[in-house]
Structure 1
Amino acid sequence: MTMEHPFYDIAVIGGGLTGLTAAIYAARSGRSVILLEKDSRLGGLAQTARIGGALFNYGPRAMYEGSAALRILEELGCKPSLGSGTKNAMYGILDGKLIHAAQELSPEEQTEWSTLMGSLNRIDPEPIRSISMKEWTLGNVRSDRVRQFFYAMCRQWAYDDDMERLSAGYVLEQGQLASQGVRYVLGGWQTVIDSLQREAVRAGVVIAAGAEAAQVVHEQGTVTGILLSEGTLLRTGSIIAAAGPHAVSKWLKGSGLHSRSLEVWKEQSHPLYVSCLDVALKQVPYPDRAFVLGLDEPFYYSNHSAAIPLTDDGSQVIHVMTYHGSSPAGDSELVLRRLKERLEAIQPGWEQATAAVRFSPNLLAAHASRPALRSGDAPAPGPAVPEICGLYVAGDWVGREGRLADTAMTSAKLAGLTAAGID
């Protein structure tokens, strides 16, 4: 790696949404900033691949109207073009068979369901952040069948299936945000990455793709640089690690540095995994079936092309996904077979209409779950690592606001400003 300067005020490790956001805020504050990304292409799991004329994100990805991610993107001048999620009728999968919510629920259950969803925005999530989703639901939902439908909604709000551990306040807050409107990104999430990359360069960030961090370098507990995997020593005054707690811990070990706080955050993180089957269909047998959730299994189906065009030829891009929780699936072939079976129940004959397909097993959906035990907060309360001067962290496991991109970009903004000395 050839560096433009012998020293940078701030080095950002990671070239996804988090790292790019942190780098822009730090550079706009007048600091010299270099961004290191181990891959040749920026974006991480926010990349979009073009396969057979179809644009595939890594599984179903959306933003909520009023979310922190959209606020920050607008502030940076990088807000993408968006399409609205479908408001079609909800379907469920039960015992492997498709059912229609309105037809499955009795009149009394339909009334309870409508009342529950209609009153969602009147619930104050703060007092119930320390109780589990299961505890709250058992105390507020009478019907077992309504509870099944509600758990299915909670699962896709939180990307987590563990209702006994999940914070009720955290999940319901996400549900309230979702009720404001689900937005899909026109052109795929790669357009967001590309826009952030252009803005980073405009702000003066030096982007080093293909540069892999190997070790944090320090003097008496104060950050002084980063040793790259190919042997280059990059001198810097501060580091923003836009990565997960396990990666940050690995970068510290070889240097003799130790952070008890980071180790605690790592132990508490409990990452969440999903497997996704993404398909582009030339024809969709039942176009009204745009949104389906598993009622007795952690399953999700959505036709994102109902909101935005994602192909060159008018094919429909459909995402089928299962949630694994904190344990990756051991048998990927079994997972793929199950996802195909569920897709067949929703769209019979789909394989004959396939224009493109991609299966992504055991994707990291989030670096941390949000249990009631922590009141729904992420493991790390803020970007500063207490025991190490000049080391900051950012990502979906840092801070309190929102989930996934919302948490990642909020913590990235704070990390960029804090590392730059901006209160």
Structure 2
Amino acid sequence: MNKIAQKVLEPTIEFSAPVTANSPELKQLFDFIALGASERDRDRILPFDIVELLRRSRLGALRIPVAEGGGGSTVRELFEVVIRLGDADPNVAHILRNHFVVIERILRSQRSERNRRWIKAVVDGSFFGFAGSELEAKRAGSGEVVNTRLTPDDDGYRLHGSKYYSTGSLYVDFIAVRLLAPNGTPATAIVPTKREGVERIDDWDGFGQRLTGTGTTTFTNVRVEAHEVVFDTDPDNDRLTYNATVPQLFLTAINAGIIRNVLRDAINLVHKRPRTFYHATAERAADDPLIQQTVGQIATNAFAAEAIVLQAADGLDQIIATRAKGGDESAASLEASLRTTKAKLVVDDLTLRSATLLFEVGGASTTKQAYNFDRHWRNARTLSSHNPASFKARAIGNYEINGTPLPSAAFF
């Protein structure tokens, strides 16, 4: 790992059980995370201490049923929490994205011995990451595996290969790795990150979401046990028609959280402004109708973004309800994907506009690096760039006009 500053804070919160969506400890935790978020972003301080605190809180078990030791939250409640964490620190929220994606797929599947083992690890505080992208693949998001392969090794395998965009893997305990089995069959191996031959490199150099560990992960002669390899056709690996809806909505929820953070910064900025412009209509910034209008617009954007995200999350809960009734999940899966795709188009735009409106609340002083107000736009732009809006809008239009189903690989 590159030599980059790591900040260590003294945690003061005690957790007697896994946090739930409404537990007071969760509010304390997010307030604590928010305290140093801007400084961490500005100075590129990796939040290992924050992730350790999240590990202790067992936030990663939020969606696991209470009977299995988890928080028992609905999908809607999960995304309410994601918005709040995105408000506190979008980098930290993004670090957990792949964890909840992997766990959601395990929760959908039958409780085989290995799935029970992985659920128990989460209840005990472990986080999971994902390494799927390869720069050698010709089309982004296609799921194509080029150079990450298993070779036979007695009663197990050896893993060789390299992945990029392995967001969060720098901080987690297990990584789900997309690969090719010896016979060329696509599969996923879930391996501990501390196993010999696993190297996580902090080489992500984007201008936003800079602390997410979205870099390279290499696997050199890594021992993989047979039970750690999950083939796409395995009976304990349940897959939806649209498997990428959760990770896509996760990014949109973080952007909704960023608008809440922008609103808080805007209000604080108004109250702290010692002066206003000579041609303003009021002596105090707080009494200026133009500033009031700007802050009001940001507040409205925050409200709309959260409502849209949670409406999309309801679509994911509907899949679970349909399954419980023994119904056909394919229609519910398509509906959830459509909601999530539409949500991205609107919320991303609201976030970027809100991040710009913040600078209308103040003057040139708001651009000082000490404030780090530009982090909102940088982070939102990076999140929204994961899958360009034009491609999403075109897919929605094709569905509405011609009835063509949305693409069913990544990004939907």
Q: TM-score range by the shorter chain?
A: under 0.3
Higher RCO (C-alpha under 8 Å, 6+ residues apart): 1
**Greater share of helix:** 2
Q: TM-score, normalised by structure 2?
A: 0.25
Q: TM-score, normalised by structure 1?
A: 0.24
